Every structure is written in structure tokens, then in C-alpha cells.
């Protein structure tokens, strides 16, 4: 009996750019149907927690919130039970290594803090001009040139993610290089041009296991759906794992089922539980 359904956001619950952060109507109806059949709904995303709260406003749902790829977890009662951030030593080694050896291969690099501030660096002036409106302006990122980690440490700003943007053909090679050089971090492809680097242990799979333990749920009682490489760890801890059909073949190979939408996954969950379908 499946008791909890967990969904990724971008590319999964939200996969139509024209709708922004609002899920489409069929997915919203599916989530309501879960509730009607006593199945709880939760979100696990690489986004910040305030994005999850915004989504919950659309779907009228309050449950566990897994943000920043498992870096933060809030309970149903809005209690923060996990906030795993970088030590300044680890993030400084990462930042120094990338700036010294790989910055020329990047479009930009971004340090993100728990407080949702973003600090961005470009490899050169041309890349800055090309990417300014695509990221810096969109997210109100702050350009830096000095020892940013030292500055953030002095202000006691907690760093929870490092994002690098590179060319699609280069992302797999760069991911493997960084993994070999930095075993004290979680390094995962998160988009067509992006690699996300988080503190060790910050994975959706680890966070889902924490929620399962807190709620006394087994892997047979939890379903998870996603579309990206950072969702694979979630597939590994749930018997009922769903990959979106537009995902890469490798990602789809790691899931138990492949579907076109969250609503389609909900239909399967209700069939498993012997309940009515959409």
C-alpha cells in the first residue's frame, strides 16, 4: 500500500515553461485525488524552500518539503529537521580548484546560500555579457571577484550549493573530473548545461530515507517521480519509482516505470492501491 507520493518540480510537476512555477491543471487534480484516497503528497527539489511553499499554495497541500537536493527538510508542521551546508574549508577548496583549473570551460559559476542569495563569477567579459540576462539578472545574482568564501564566512552566510554552467558536450567529462578530485561533495548533472555541487550527503535519496524513517514507512509505501540525474538517488530508495518520458535514457533505466506526467504516475499508484483512477 503506497502511503506517500513524492515529486520533483522542474521537468516533472512543472514541465511546461509557459506556466512558470504553476503546475498544470491535470497534475493539480491528480494531487487532490491522492489526498482523497489518503495518500500524502510531498516535494523533493533542487530549488529553495520558498519555491516549494509557492507550489503548495497552488495545490493546497502541506507536507514534508525536501529542498536543495536534500540539503533542507521541513516537516508537515514547518519544523526544520535538516540543514546540511558546506564547511568553509570544503567549499573554498572547490571554488579555488574550479577557478584555477576549469573556469575557462564554464559559462559561469554560482555560489548559493541558505538565505537564497547567489554570488556569480564569469570566466571573461564576453561570457558575462552573453549570460548576464540569462542568469544574473533573472536571479538577482551578485557578481564577485575577490575571496568570496572568506567574505561569506565573515558574514556567517551558510553556503549550500555551487552551480556551474558549461557546454552540453562538456558536462559529463567535467562531472567525472570533479567527482574524482572532490569526494567530499555530491556532484550531479542537473540540466542541459549545469552541474550542481552540494555538501556530502545532500541527495534526494538520503532525504527521502530520513522522511521514511521519521514516518515509519518502508520502500514499498513510497512513490517518487523525477526526470533528472539528481532524482536517481530517489529512485533507488523507493520501490515505486517513476521517470518522466522526456528524461535521458540512463535516467529512465533506473526507474521502475516511465510516464508522461505526474498524473499518469498517480493513476498507476491508485491502481496499485486498488483505488479509483482519474
219 in the same domain as 117: no
Residues 28 and 101 in one domain: no
126-180 pLDDT, tens digit per residue, is 999 988 888 999 899 999 988 999 999 999 999 999 999 999 999 999 999 999 9
All 3 cell numbers of residue 151? 567574505
Using the 3D structure, point to which of 199, 231, 265 is the last residue of a domain: 199
Sheet holding 40-44, edge to edge: 80-83, 72-74, 65-67, 40-44, 4-7, 222-226, 240-244, 257-259
pTM equals 0.93
Given a cut of 60, whether residue 61 has pLDDT beyond it is yes
Rounded alpha-carbon distances, angstroms, from residue 96 to 16, 26, 266:
37, 46, 45
Asked which of 141, 167, 199 is the last residue of a domain, the reply is 199
At 62 the pLDDT is: 83
What is the span of the domain harbouring residue 117?
88-199
Q: pLDDT tens for residues 191-221? A: 899 999 999 999 999 999 999 999 999 999 9
Residues 38 and 115 in one domain: no
Question: 62 and 133: one domain?
Answer: no
Among the candidates 179, 199, 219, a domain finishes at 199
- Cα 109–chain centre separation: 17
Is residue 13 located within the same domain as residue 148? Answer: no
pLDDT band at 18 (very low <50, low <70, confident <90, very high): very low
Q: Does residue 278 sit within a domain?
A: no
- Yes or no: say if 161 and 68 are a contact pair by the CB < 8 Å rule: yes
Is there a single domain that holds both residue 32 and residue 164? Answer: no
Say how many domains are in the chain. Answer: 2
C-alpha 227: how far from chain center: 10
pLDDT score of 217 = 98
User: Is the pLDDT at 84 greater than 70, yes or no?
Assistant: yes
Amino acid at each position: 500500500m503506497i502511503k506517500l507520493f513524492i515529486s520533483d518540480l522542474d521537468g516533472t510537476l512543472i514541465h511546461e515553461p509557459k506556466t512558470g512555477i504553476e503546475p498544470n491543471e491535470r497534475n493539480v487534480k491528480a494531487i487532490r485525488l491522492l489526498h482523497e484516497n489518503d495518500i500524502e503528497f510531498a516535494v523533493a527539489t533542487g530549488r529553495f524552500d520558498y519555491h516549494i511553499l509557492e507550489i503548495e499554495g497552488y495545490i493546497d497541500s502541506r507536507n514534508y518539503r525536501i529542498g536543495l537536493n536534500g540539503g533542507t527538510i521541513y516537516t508537515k508542521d514547518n519544523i526544520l529537521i535538516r540543514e546540511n551546508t558546506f564547511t568553509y574549508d570544503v567549499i573554498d577548496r572547490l571554488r579555488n580548484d574550479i577557478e584555477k583549473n576549469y573556469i575557462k570551460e564554464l559559462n559561469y559559476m554560482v555560489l548559493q546560500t541558505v538565505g537564497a542569495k547567489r554570488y556569480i563569477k564569469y570566466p571573461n567579459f564576453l561570457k558575462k555579457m552573453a549570460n548576464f540576462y540569462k542568469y544574473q539578472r533573472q536571479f538577482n545574482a551578485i557578481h564577485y571577484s575577490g575571496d568570496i568564501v572568506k567574505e561569506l564566512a565573515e558574514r556567517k552566510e551558510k553556503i549550500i550549493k555551487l552551480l556551474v554552467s558549461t557546454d552540453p558536450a562538456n558536462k559529463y567529462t567535467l562531472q567525472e573530473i570533479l567527482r574524482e578530485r572532490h569526494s567530499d561533495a555530491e556532484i550531479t548533472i542537473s540540466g542541459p548545461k549545469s552541474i550542481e555541487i552540494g555538501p556530502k550527503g545532500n541527495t534526494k535519496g538520503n532525504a527521502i530515507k530520513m522522511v521514511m524513517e521519521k514516518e515509519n514507512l518502508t520502500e514499498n509505501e513510497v512513490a517518487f517521480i523525477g526526470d533528472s540525474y539528481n532524482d536517481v538517488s530517489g529512485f533507488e530508495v523507493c520501490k515505486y519509482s517513476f521517470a518522466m518520458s522526456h528524461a535521458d535514457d540512463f535516467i529512465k533505466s533506473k526507474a521502475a516505470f516511465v510516464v508522461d506526467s505526474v498524473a499518469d504516475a498517480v493513476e498507476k499508484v491508485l491502481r496499485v492501491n486498488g483505488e479509483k483512477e482519474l
